[in-house]
Amino acid sequence: MNDFRQPHLFLTLLLLSALWFGLPTPTYAQEPSDTPTVNDVAGDLYCPLCTGQTVDVCALEVCADMRQIIAERLAAGESPEQIKAHFVEQYGPQVLGKPSTEGFHLTAWVIPFIALGGAAMALFLWLRGRPTPARATHPIGSDPSADAYHAQLDRALERLDD
């Protein structure tokens, strides 16, 4: 009897232990940290040698160097803004991935809004100028100028027939 049950017991224990170890480790809510990490700062900076890649994911040597400098400066107590300003001074404003708000570059910020506003206004005025069914109070063809035109046309045709 025992010999018959033992394999079942063994398999049950094996299954339970597999389920236990297979369960995901419970995670607990953490308090949000105010301390910026290297990736927080690196994620806001763009690789100065490639296009559209942020420093936190860029594999180039220069980006690895930038991450190291970020870590050193954070450890020294510098703010993310100070660190970003350092890289702008070193490599230029392109590391911020957006045009500056000074001089000619300001147009890059202003023009899209002007264009959008202009397009919205043009669309609004165009829609407003279109005749809507509710506003069409008299049937098509009752326009006095069109009537006069048709009458004139009929008279001309009659004369032609004569």
Partner 1 sequence: MTTQTIDRPTLGTQRPWWMLPALVVVLSVLGLLAYGLMARGRGQLVDGPAPDFTLQSFAGEPVTLSELRGQPVILNFWASWCRECDKEMRLLESSYQRYQDEIVFLGIDYIDTEDKARAYLEQYGITYPNGPDLGSRIANDYRIKGVPETFFIGKDGTVRGVHIGPLAQADLEAWIEQLRNE
Is the CB of 30 or the CB of 145 nearer to partner 1? 145
- Least distance CB 90 / partner 1 (angstroms): 6
DSSP state of 31: P
Is the CB of 13 or the CB of 111 nearer to partner 1? 111
Going by C-alpha positions, the residue among 100, 66, 98 that lies closest to residue 83 is 66
DSSP assignment of 15-78: HHHHHHHHSPPP----PPP-SPPHHHHHTTSB-SSSSS-BTTT--SHHHHHHHHHHHHHHHTT-
- Least distance CB 69 / partner 1 (angstroms): 7
Q: Bridge-partner residues for 46, per DSSP? A: 54
- Least distance CB 138 / partner 1 (angstroms): 16
Residues forming the site for partner 1 (CB under 8 A): 48-49, 60-62, 65-66, 69, 88-94, 107-108, 111, 114-115, 118-119, 121-122, 125, 129, 143, 145-146, 148-149, 152-153, 156, 159-160
